[in-house]
Chains A and B, each alone.
Chain A
Amino acid sequence: MSETEIKDAPEQAQGTERRLNMIEAINDALDVSMGRDDDVVVMGEDVGYFGGVFRCTAGLQDKYGKTRVFDTPINECGIIAVAVGMGAYGLRPVPEIQFADYIYPGLDQLISEAARLRYRSAGEYVAPMTVRSPFGGGIFGGQTHSQSPEAIFTHVSGLKTVIPATPYDAKGLLISCIEDNDPVIFFEPKRIYNGPFSGYYDKPVQPWKKFDASVVPEGYYKIPLGKARHVTEGDRLTVLAYGTMVHVVEAVCREKGVDADILDLRTLVPLDIEAIEASIERTGRCLIVHEATRTSGFGAELSALVTERCFYHLEAPVERVTGFDTPYPHSLEWAYFPGPIRIGEAIDKILKD
């Protein structure tokens, strides 16, 4: 599902093909899941009547009623905790945390409770919940509307972490997460809610409907967790990325004419290690790209795994391109963001001999 641009794409061609942006795809996934299973409930700050600050839950309360889709107090600990309790009862809650930057008050409930419920009760109690939260920067969100805290969650045994990069994936993955019997953190890259982002922030952004990945089937379909997606197939190097950075790295490789094997990981835990190994055994080179800060970021885990498991295939050191180890700045956003220059130089370094 590459983001091949479609010239003069007719909107809603013949009424059979639907082109949705990521917000609409997520809304559709919630709608489909709620329609299929009465136990799916949606809650969070402003998600009810108003339909969410990003519109992801628009229309759902009207359709399913106030006991299935409702607003909550501004209390992230409470939002996660009552979802754990609802899961213990037998519901399948889908709580929303308005920004990933505000998930921290709910961390104890996520790490100590949701993640460990099945283990500590030997399966008597489970937390089949999906925490949706917009994450990532590139929107002038400053310190508290830009963070990428995925490594906090990938470090927790018992949690799954899923990050879509296209509308098609967003719907299929979200339905899988909701049906999964383990607690899942579903991070939505808000930079690409409306259209893929190349990283060239001075160029206009194209809306999703111009890209094939915005073709979202109606009704029910799933994308399995733990499976990466091949964005482009290539032989010169393997790129491991997820979320917004999938599109940035794809644009840079296209600009540079690099024949890259780009993997959109989609699920960080459990990771598609087979796809990673197979790719690196073919290319012998590996670039890891994420927006989150560098030290102890998820890239460190990826780098370690690649080094441990593909060492004899590697022809160059594994490179990581990440955000800097600073809080996310406001005015210096584009100096912070791992953009085309940083990625391009890393590619040059990997390919230099």
Chain B
Amino acid sequence: MADRPKGSAEGENRPALSLHVPEPKFRPGDTVDFSHIEVPEAGSMARPDEACDPAEMRDLAYGLVRVLGDDDKAHGPWDPKLDADTLRAMLSHMAMTRAFDERMFRGQRQGKTSFYMKCTGEEATSVSASMALAGDDMVFPSYRQQGILIQRGYPLIEMINQIYSNKGDKLKGRQLPIMYSSREHSFFTISGNLATQTPQAVGWAMASAMKGDSRIAATWVGEGSTAEGDFHSACTFATVYNAPVILNVINNQWAISSFSGFAGAERTTFAARALGYGLAGLRVDGNDALACYAAERWAANRARANAGPTLIEFFTYRAEGHSTSDDPSGYRSAQERSEWPLGDPVMRLKNHLIALGEWDEERQEKMDLEAAEHVKKVTKEAEANGILGHGLHHPFRTMFEDVFEELPWHLREQADQAVHERQTKFPEGLPEA
């Protein structure tokens, strides 16, 4: 124990302090009981005016906006009243996202790439939210929003080329798999450094406002990453400049092996953080595709009307491991996934469409099958461009390009060295693919 300052005997009769270290409710092997999670009735939360004062939104930051009830019907003022075609499109993007994840995960296990991350159970938080934005609104995602790219019509083959780091990879094999970038789809380049995108999104939104543009920005961040200082920067700048931005927090309960308590969830909600900044704060059932859409649409309308930024907490559950490098059985109960009180976003939307008489199990089965077949077909096409480590990558010289706009002398020299090494290894020329 560190010595007290000399001559300080004062504190000797005081009670001993103790450090609180958060501990998740359930560890491997434990029986899971989620009854402590409050799940309000669908339709029970009020829907304030989009231009309202954030101070009026206290209940929404601590509550849970839900639209889809146990009866699979839409309820209350947050019902976005989408037509059946839109709902079917939403369901199909979510199904495609899930099928894509399944195949890419398998691809990693087969050694076709080094790494993959699924978003299983969180599809609504990207697909539905993205559908509520305009296609040219700029999104600053984290690594678990592949649903946005799929919803925005980014070609699957581009995604797979990137995952395989092959000669078709637009990012020239420079980036770890799933760190996509598509300017054409207003999808910002993904960084491995957590939460950095959140104040960047605010800056983009500020720029749009400075220029009198009409586009807004939206960013996604996990609940674990909200502990980063960048998230505080984002909230502060967003409020100070009334930036037209939406800060989406995906609270999927887990940051790799750390439960949300290590980001502060034991004492408050993530949406409630908004209150202290003077941001509009909404807490939403992240497995309710209609609630996700409605909340994002509310925030988008607010931003577009210059009424200010919004922080949305999507309350959901990371159904799979953190990544292909992670085994969740080492830190959490396997029962959590099946006991999760908010169910599965794809199933809930499917059941809603069936309840509306606009869908059936047969069509669902067909859609799932078609999605799997489509991904499989595109995967084959992408494999023709090569898989990781099989030689069909970009020329060595490209490694040195784009560090700067132009190659300075030191990079020219290093590029020559790399090419020389290549020629030394293959004196007869490059081996045929």
Contact = CB atoms under 8 A, between A and B. Distances in A.
Contact of A270 (B204, B233, B409): B409
Contacts of A14: none
Interface stretch (B16-24, B122-130, B400-408): B400-408
Interface stretch (B141-149, B192-200, B305-313, B351-359): B192-200
A270 B206 CA distance: 32
Interface stretch (B234-242, B315-323, B366-374): B234-242
A273 B408 CA distance: 11
Contacts of B211: 89, 91
Contact of B207 (A85, A118, A270): A85
A83 B203 contact: yes
A285 interface: no
Given A90-B207, A122-B172, A271 B200 contact: no
Contacts, number: 143
Given A78-B236, A86-B203, A108 B408 contact: no
Interface residues of B, number: 47
29 contacts: A73-B236, A75-B237, A77-B199, A77-B229, A77-B230, A78-B237, A81-B199, A81-B202, A83-B203, A85-B206, A85-B217, A86-B206, A89-B207, A91-B210, A108-B193, A109-B196, A112-B191, A112-B193, A113-B191, A116-B191, A119-B174, A120-B175, A121-B181, A122-B181, A124-B181, A125-B189, A158-B403, A182-B405, A273-B409
A340 interface: no
A82 B199 contact: yes
A113 B193 contact: yes
| Listed residue (A85, A89, A121) with the most chain B CB atoms within 10 angstroms of its CB | A85
Contacts of A232: none
B131 interface: no
A102 to B, nearest CB: 14
Please list the 5 inter-chain residue pairs (A to B) with the smallest Cβ-Cβ separation, ordered nearest first.
A85-B203, A82-B203, A78-B233, A81-B199, A270-B408
Contacts of B209: 67
Interface in B126-179: 138, 140, 170-172, 174-175, 179
Contacts of B198: 81
Given A73-B237, A112-B191, A158-B404, A41 B210 contact: yes
B188 interface: yes
A239 B70 CA distance: 79
A75 B233 contact: yes
Given A78-B234, A81-B237, A120-B181, 14 more contacts: A73-B236, A81-B196, A81-B199, A81-B200, A89-B203, A90-B207, A91-B210, A113-B191, A121-B183, A122-B170, A124-B182, A124-B189, A181-B405, A273-B409
A73 B234 CA distance: 11
Contact of A117 (B189, B199, B207, B409): B189
A73 B181 CA distance: 30
Interface string A167-197: 0000000000000111000000000000000
Interface residues of A, number: 45
A144 interface: no
B201 interface: yes
Contacts of A81: 196, 198-200, 202-203, 230, 233-234, 237
A327 to B, nearest CB: 23
A333 B27 CA distance: 57
A91 to B, nearest CB: 5
Contacts of A105: 229
A271 B408 CA distance: 9
A300 B171 CA distance: 34
Given A81-B233, A108-B193, A271-B410, A122 B206 contact: no
Contact of A86 (B174, B175, B183, B204): B204
